[in-house]
């Protein structure tokens, strides 16, 4: 049934030689999850750091626990939260935009209807 199988082969070769990037939608949810993971890891680190600082009698030990535990932990929390906010906000705004479009369309319909009614008299 197939008179030119070489077209199929050519197509396969061309598709295979193509550069493909990861899809945007998948990336987005991956980054969202990364944000949550980072924030949780940071929180854990900060708590561990805090406990260690409390347990350490020596001021020098306390400082090093502060540096590795608390500060790094806080930095991770901030970075993770920023990622999370960025991508959940994107989702929310997309939804909101659709909602706005929908409302404005409904509004236009109402106005057109009202004008129609006014033009054709109240009866």
Partner 1 sequence: MTPIDTSAAPPLLELSGVRAGYGSIEVLHGVNLAVPAGSVVALLGPNGAGKTTTLGVACGLIEPTAGKVLMAGRDVTGVAPEELVRRGVVTIPEGRGIFPNLTVRENLQMVTYGGARLADVEATAYERFPRLGERRKQLAGTMSGGEQQMLAMARGLASNPALLFLDELSMGLAPLVVEELYGIVAQIARSGVSILVIEQFARTVLGVADYAAIMLNGLVRSVGRPADIEDELSAAYLGGQKP
Residues in the site for partner 1, rule: CB under 8 A?
A: 1-5, 7-8, 10-12, 14-16, 18, 20-26, 94-95, 97-98, 101
The answer to whether the beta carbons of residues 67 and 32 sit under 8 Å apart is no
Is 10 or 108 the residue whose CB approaches partner 1 more closely?
Answer: 10
For residue 15, the minimal CB distance to partner 1 (Å) is: 5
91 Cβ contact list (under 8 Å, min separation 6): 28
Is 40 or 101 the residue whose CB approaches partner 1 more closely?
Answer: 101
Neighbours of 84 (CB within 10 A): 19
Is 51 or 100 the residue whose CB approaches partner 1 more closely?
Answer: 100
Q: Which helix (H) or strand (E) holds 4?
A: none
């Amino acid at each position: 049934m197939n008179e030119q199988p070489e077209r199929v082969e050519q197509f396969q070769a061309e598709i295979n030689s193509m550069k493909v990037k990861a899809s945007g939608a998948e990336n987005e949810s991956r980054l969202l999850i990364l944000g949550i993971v980072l924030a949780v890891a940071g929180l854990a680190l900060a708590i561990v750091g805090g406990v260690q600082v409390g347990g350490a009698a020596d001021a020098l030990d306390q400082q090093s626990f502060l540096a590795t535990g608390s500060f790094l932990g806080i930095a991770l929390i901030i970075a993770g939260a920023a990622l999370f906010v960025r991508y959940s906000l994107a989702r929310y705004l997309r939804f909101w935009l659709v909602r706005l479009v929908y409302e404005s369309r409904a509004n236009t319909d109402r106005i057109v209807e009202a004008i129609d009614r006014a033009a054709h008299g109240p009866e």
